[in-house]
Structure 1
């Protein structure tokens, strides 16, 4: 019997959430932007379009290939939590959109804040029913964006 891997169903960020996110971020030109759980890469691609230097992190090999076709930034195939441990830069912004059934949110938050540059911003997209001790939370339909600012 052939062993098959379960692939997470993509849940791209809605246009409403994406537009709200970039309105909140404002000018991100020349900032280092890390797109964790990149999926289709749409958030990172928008950040690139706005002048950020983007690093994409995605585990799925076929999605990595698709992102590489579109992106100018570096694309890393790997587990987001492991990549955070071995980054050679301190991003100004980390955006993470893990699957809604993700179970290691607290570890993701901890590692992301540790990896950020001083004054950097960590943004987590998640189901609005999931609550975190964030600096700010914005809700759009069933989706929430939670924000943490790393102290200077």
Structure 2
């Protein structure tokens, strides 16, 4: 299944404690006026996806997503697949404290785009969104045991 996250803030910037300036990193806009975005996975980035032959798997991952514009676009991309067969389908659900809930199925492809809102206040150790990964028992029972995907990459941009 999936065991860790890879995080990129504003595509070309690595995630740090302070927000990066996305447009400035691309050379579009002076840093003083460029919108900023940052992302942190609050529960260490390790997802619990071990299945014991019964029930669904639901991994809830707390996030801190900040955008100086109050809106952001998050892309979740799957790394390369490996394993003994086609991986089981799963659903990603982004829920924000601002009330947004967006759901995407892995059967639609390997790149998911979510749009969310925040209150323009940088996070200080607290979360303001969750990214949930759902595997249904019906999809898991048809899968051959193995590790299929070890990484999801999260990228956030101000919108």
- Taking structure 2 as the reference length, the TM-score comes to 0.25
- Taking structure 1 as the reference length, the TM-score comes to 0.26
Structure of greater Rg: 2
Return the structure number with greater strand share. Answer: 2
